[in-house]
Amino acid sequence: MKTIIVNVPEKDETFFMALLKKFHFKTLILSDEEKEDKALAKLIDKGMKSGEVSEEVIFETLRKNGVKI
């Protein structure tokens, strides 16, 4: 199974949801906050794997930017 991410204009959301339901596709709607969290997690993972940035530096930067850890 593959995952496809589609950005749908709000005015067309009803149409696309009906279409996906008709073809029995599983749907998941992400809020803007969830999308930001996923992007942030991806960047953190990339930084942790590279070893160029320590975990302490990452968490301190997040705290300074108001992210609750």
Q: In the prediction, which pLDDT does 22 show?
A: 96
* pLDDT tens over the chain, length 69 residues: 888 888 899 899 999 999 999 999 999 888 889 988 888 888 878 877 887 777 788 788 888 888 777
pTM of the complete model: 0.51
The number of distinct structural domains making up the chain is 1
Measured between alpha carbons, how far is 27 from 6 in angstroms, rounded to an integer? 10
Measured between alpha carbons, how far is 34 from 61 in angstroms, rounded to an integer? 20
Q: Please name which of 9, 61, 68, 60 lies closest in space to residue 37, comparing C-alpha atoms.
A: 68
Residues 6+ apart with CB under 8 A from 38: 30
Q: Is residue 2 part of a domain?
A: no
Measured between alpha carbons, how far is 43 from 67 in angstroms, rounded to an integer? 14
Q: Is residue 3 part of a domain?
A: no
Range of the domain at 41: 10-64
Q: In the prediction, which pLDDT does 14 show?
A: 93
